[in-house]
A and B are shown apart, each in its own frame.
Chain A
């Protein structure tokens, strides 16, 4: 049992999470991982569905891929930010994208593959952001 990890889990578990990823395998694995920290994780397969989910429910944190069919991650985030300016956004992508492109829409940005250490950093940042 790792005390630090356990502490993190305790702090973030009540947050509502939206996760957008078009690759099934990736979504499955990541959803499982996120579920170990958060009680409520909604996973969708493209930006359009993500935006729809967001309009229906309230979330504090969004994890999203960028390249997705129908609506890409950046556009979805832009639309979501219009609804909730304080939403905390984390972009995880495989595409070669510059920081300038995502600065506006993303609070955190990681390139896939994402290491365990980086996932822990994400959790810590969330704790820090929401002052938990």
Chain B
């Protein structure tokens, strides 16, 4: 996989892992919030139940107290209360001989609690730290709670506790001494406003816990459903994005390959051009060498050979080999790898280009007109720019030769503007046909037939100028001819 896209997909992965963690966190947080809210709600319901049970007991007790106790027939179930001994008229006999005894609030309530124990699920118990009736002995929890009431000045307390593997709510409310209480308790030193006892209510939490579990199960189900939906949506978008990235990568790689192929093709074409130019450059010197050799041969054949002439021929041949050697250096220069940008004068690049191509222009009787007016060096890949110049000049040459122009001229103009160096290459060929004009920079477009043109020369020139040198290349038909304008920015 291409590095660029590998990084992009890694980034996507990291992004989605972050989203996943955030979503999961939000769901867990929200679920816990709901869970505690629901738990509180059910505990409050249980507490409310306990409180109601207490209030009912209290009302009942109040009702009894408001009558100063009630008289009931003495039965086995309701014997006279020995702890009310000190009260006068505890026991009464009606005129008809019916025996009645006084039931005080505590007595009535205890009986009520004992006899209807657990009828509403609530189990009440009235108790005190200072007891009249030992039967009302406080449990350890009640004792602790009553002490808490005295110490902390509160009237109500509850706790959820486990007892024999079942959870219960333990509720207790203080009983505050009122005037009516003193009838029975005055002898104990009670004063109005004292906390002298309490009623505890114990309610099993099973029903509430079951309700709670049920509610939580529903919440879990809903949360899970939404969570899975969110994950599914996340997955879907992730897959779509990843697929589009892979798609992009495929396109990128194929484009990249296409570009590489084109580059290779244009390089091959340039190589072919070079060989043809070398042929032009070499034709003359090897012709001269051949002629000096012919002179030597003819001297031998005509018995005219002498040392002086032979030396002259050899010297001339050597001189030509120097010329050949220089040509090779010029071309080697062109194929020099051009990895690093260097500061160079555009006209120097043009001159390097001419060293290679000038001979081929001369051989076709094409005149060169040069006009340089520039002093600014720019940072460029000079070999690439040279390739562009050669392409354009070669095209001009071919156009001039094909049109059989008499006074064929190629004009080279290089000058500087405020921010850029302008190079103009124009010819006096016939110009470019209007229907061809928009296509000349297209890849594989050629007017020259399969043998001589690859259709990549101007396409690669445009690529080099725009992508590598950040400049522009434009073409215009001028008066009998074509003008290519190459603009290269000074701060490349």
Cβ-neighbour of A113 out of B290, B319, B364 (below 8 A): B290
Cβ-neighbour of A95 out of B285, B295, B301, B363 (below 8 A): B363
CA–CA, A26 to B320, complex, Å? 11
A25 with B365, Cβ < 8 A, contacts A94-B283, A94-B284, A116-B294 known: no
B291 touches A29 (CB 8 A): yes
CA–CA, A116 to B291, complex, Å? 8
A5 touches B284 (CB 8 A): no
Is B440 an interface residue when CB atoms closer than 8 A count as contact? Answer: no
B295 touches A114 (CB 8 A): no
Q: Which B residue sits closest to A26, measured CB to CB?
A: B288
Given the complex, which residues of B lie within 8 Å of A6, measured CB to CB? 301-302
Is A12 an interface residue when CB atoms closer than 8 A count as contact? Answer: no
A26 touches B287 (CB 8 A): yes
Is A16 an interface residue when CB atoms closer than 8 A count as contact? Answer: no
Please report whether the interface of chain B is mostly helix, strand, loop or mixed according to DSSP. Answer: helix
Cβ-neighbour of A114 out of B284, B290, B300, B365 (below 8 A): B290
- State how many angstroms separate the Cβ of A126 from the closest Cβ of chain B: 15
Is B237 an interface residue when CB atoms closer than 8 A count as contact? Answer: no
Given the complex, which residues of B lie within 8 Å of A30, measured CB to CB? 291
- State how many angstroms separate the Cβ of A121 from the closest Cβ of chain B: 12
Is B480 an interface residue when CB atoms closer than 8 A count as contact? Answer: no
A112 touches B290 (CB 8 A): yes
Q: Which A residue sits closest to B294, measured CB to CB?
A: A116
CA–CA, A95 to B363, complex, Å? 6
Is A102 an interface residue when CB atoms closer than 8 A count as contact? Answer: no
- State how many angstroms separate the Cβ of B293 from the closest Cβ of chain A: 7
- State how many angstroms separate the Cβ of A87 from the closest Cβ of chain B: 23
A119 touches B320 (CB 8 A): no
B301 touches A2 (CB 8 A): yes
Is A130 an interface residue when CB atoms closer than 8 A count as contact? Answer: no
Cβ-neighbour of A23 out of B284, B289, B302 (below 8 A): B284
Interface size of B by Cβ–Cβ distance < 8 Å? 29
1/0 per position for A1-39, CB-CB distance to B under 8 A? 110011001000000000000010110111011001000
Interface size of A by Cβ–Cβ distance < 8 Å? 26
Is B298 an interface residue when CB atoms closer than 8 A count as contact? Answer: yes
Is A115 an interface residue when CB atoms closer than 8 A count as contact? Answer: yes
B316 touches A36 (CB 8 A): no
1/0 per position for A107-118, CB-CB distance to B under 8 A? 000001111100
CA–CA, A26 to B319, complex, Å? 12
Cβ-neighbour of A5 out of B285, B301, B363 (below 8 A): B301
Cβ-neighbour of A116 out of B293, B303, B304 (below 8 A): B293
Is B286 an interface residue when CB atoms closer than 8 A count as contact? Answer: yes
Most buried by A among B280, B301, B363: B301
- State how many angstroms separate the Cβ of A52 from the closest Cβ of chain B: 19
B291 touches A114 (CB 8 A): yes
B283 touches A29 (CB 8 A): no
- State how many angstroms separate the Cβ of A25 from the closest Cβ of chain B: 5
Given the complex, which residues of B lie within 8 Å of A42, measured CB to CB? none
A113 touches B363 (CB 8 A): no
Q: Interface on B for A, CB 8 Å cutoff? A: 280, 283-295, 297-304, 316, 319-320, 362-365
Q: A29-B294, A67-B363 are in contact. List 11 more A-B contacts (CB 8 A).
A: A9-B302, A25-B316, A25-B320, A29-B292, A33-B291, A33-B294, A36-B304, A67-B364, A112-B284, A113-B283, A116-B294
Instruction: Enumerate the 9 nearest inter-chain pairs by beta-carbon distance, A residue then B residue, closest first.
Output: A113-B290, A112-B287, A29-B291, A2-B301, A94-B283, A113-B287, A5-B301, A1-B303, A25-B288
